[in-house]
Amino acid sequence: MSATKSEDRQITATAEAKRGLQPTAVSSVRETLTLTPAVHPIIQEFLAAGELLDELTAALGSPLNILFPQIAGSNVDGFHDKLDKLSLRGRVYFAHKANRSDSITRQLSFEHCYIDVSSTNELRHALGSGFNARRIQATGPKNTAFLTLALQHGIVISIDSNWELRELLSLKKSLQTEQKVPLLLRVSGFRSAHSQYRSKASRFGIPLAEIAQTFALLEPAEDDIHLLGFSFHLDTTSIPEKGQAIENCLELFERAISLGFDPTVLNIGGGFKTNYLASEQDWHRYTTAIRDAALGARPPLTWQSNTFGLLPDKGALRGSFNSYSYYDPLTGPGFLEELLAHQLPDQGDTTAGAMLRDNGIELWIEPGRSLLDQCGITVGRVNSVRNSSQGDLLVCLNMKRQDICFLDQEIFVDPIVIYKDQPDTENPPSAVYFAGNLCLESDLIYRHQTFLPAVPQPGDLVVFANTAGYFMDFSASQAIMQPTAAKIAVYKQNNRFAWSLDDQYQPRRFSRQENS
């Protein structure tokens, strides 16, 4: 009860700072709005050891991307545990697009894992990393070159449009491949009588309204194709919305069966989410402060008073906070479990999991971000520490925003500063901005303030945790000829850390014990 009491006080204090009251002057107690990252024990141990990291950054420069391939293996197991618990048969496909690393892909080829590729080069990479054709699926919109290579290897193709299906059928004729092409039909535009979602438009998949044409194309092609089943990927974190897509797909199974096909696979795509923060309280406090600042009830804590989509309007806030939920209590395998426990109204409230199990439908999933949860970090070195024209303290790193930001999305997770000299914690900075090495006003690594225990000094290392999934080098460019990060793999075996260049990594068997 006493803990709740003190929380109350905090909330009340925050509420006090709201509308109608003057922003409170900087109080004598220094405000620290930390966003402490969640860090895997293996990585904590690696950072604490220190020496190897110093050598690596000295040799390979800043920025540096470090992958921990062995952690990916445990993540795959996490998803399988949930399927096993429900007696569901299924496959875990690594969504390759989340990271193009060699070491990760090679290591996953040693695990109970399949791979989903979305370009010709990803397909080449998967084959070259040790995945044989039976473990590869081609997804996303495909050009002729991609379709040709996919056909030649006989991999599963998830058809993204009727155009693509026609192209595939004619290519198969001209290539004269013998094997039937294993197909999934990716569909979109889900509807049901029980819920009207104002769902976002999707550029992908065959609209359900056009599925009759698809079947008409498939029926005469029975000797050329093997319809495995259906697939979808919805860009939403809402379980009922995904449940609706599953229901719609089950209707397609029924329709396909009536037409004489024998579908046995449902691929529900990815989007299982990832948690980045160690503390829920951190996330709530920081996001509350951003809202307070947007209303003018406290000094801004973002660059140029950016409000990330929130709009003050006559004392109330409109719009929504445009950010990934960096704290999330239900992610990865847990989210999958919740989705499979979702009751489908059109199926007499049977759960999605029971529906698939009882009908012998295999469940395929394509996690990317959540499969790479905790599998990598990005390290930058401090170039200089200076003030902005407004007096804000800038910590300039030898890297740019694109070296970690996915499509310019802001990352609300504190980096770990490794101070090379004894830090001066007696005089902590109020807050700092991390800036990049491009001569562009917009090149801030973070457009929000980070609250540090001490001011970093030139030469100190700044470690961004959990960047393997989409952040690391998804958007990295060589603008103004600044280098992109070197990529290496670090692993722990027989109680010691070893490393190799990413492209020199040899996959190996790790015991589960070594992975935790």
Partner 1 sequence: MIVKQMTDLIGNTPLLEINQAVHGLRNINLYAKLELFSPFGSVKDKTAWSMLRHDLDQIKQKSQTVIESSSGNTAKAIQMICSMHDIPFKIVTNRVRVREVKQILQLLGTEIEELPGKSQCLDPTDPNDPLFIVEKIMSSEPGKYFHTSQYTNERNTEAHFEMTGAEIAKDLGSVDYFIGGLGTTGSTRGTGEFLKRTNQSLKNIGIVSSKNGFIPGIRNSDEMHEVGLFDRNFYDEIIEVTVDESLDAMLRLVRSCGVLSGPTGGASFAGALRFLRSIDAELTESRNAVFLVCDRTEWYLSYIQKYRPQLFGLTRKAESVRTLSDAELAGAPELGLEQAEHWLASDPKPLVVDLRGSLAFKGSHIKHSINIPAETLEEMSETGLPFSADQKVLFVCPVGDQSRKFAAFFKARGIDCLSLAGGFVAWRDAGKPTQRPSARKTGGLATVK
C-beta atoms surrounding 456 within 10 Å: 25
Distance, CA of 259 to CA of 23 (rounded, Å) = 68
Least distance from C-beta 308 to partner 1, angstroms? 8
Least distance from C-beta 108 to partner 1, angstroms? 21
Six-digit token string for 498: 């070893």
Closer residue to partner 1 (CB): 102 or 282: 282
With beta carbons less than 8 A apart as the criterion, state whether 305 and 343 touch: no
Closer residue to partner 1 (CB): 110 or 197: 197
> Which residue, among 229, 221, 138, has the nearest Cα to 187 in the 3D structure?
229
Closer residue to partner 1 (CB): 116 or 502: 116
The number of CA neighbours under 13 Å toward the Cβ of 337 is 13
With beta carbons less than 8 A apart as the criterion, state whether 97 and 118 touch: yes
Closer residue to partner 1 (CB): 169 or 354: 354
Closer residue to partner 1 (CB): 5 or 496: 5
Distance, CA of 448 to CA of 437 (rounded, Å) = 17
Written in H, E and C, the secondary structure of 393-414 is: EEEEECCCHHHCCCCCCCCCCC
CA 493 distance to own-chain centroid? 27
Least distance from C-beta 67 to partner 1, angstroms? 22
User: What is the Rg, in whole angstroms, of the alpha carbon atoms belonging to the chain?
Assistant: 25
Least distance from C-beta 277 to partner 1, angstroms? 13
Least distance from C-beta 164 to partner 1, angstroms? 21
Closer residue to partner 1 (CB): 281 or 500: 281
Least distance from C-beta 88 to partner 1, angstroms? 10
Distance, CA of 185 to CA of 165 (rounded, Å) = 9
Least distance from C-beta 358 to partner 1, angstroms? 4
Q: Across 315-406, where does the E strand assignment appear?
A: 316-319, 343-344, 350-351, 362-365, 376-387, 393-397
Number of residues that this document lists for the chain: 516
> Which residue, among 146, 156, 164, 147, has the nearest Cα to 181 in the 3D structure?
156
Least distance from C-beta 232 to partner 1, angstroms? 14
Closer residue to partner 1 (CB): 20 or 391: 20
Distance, CA of 312 to CA of 306 (rounded, Å) = 12
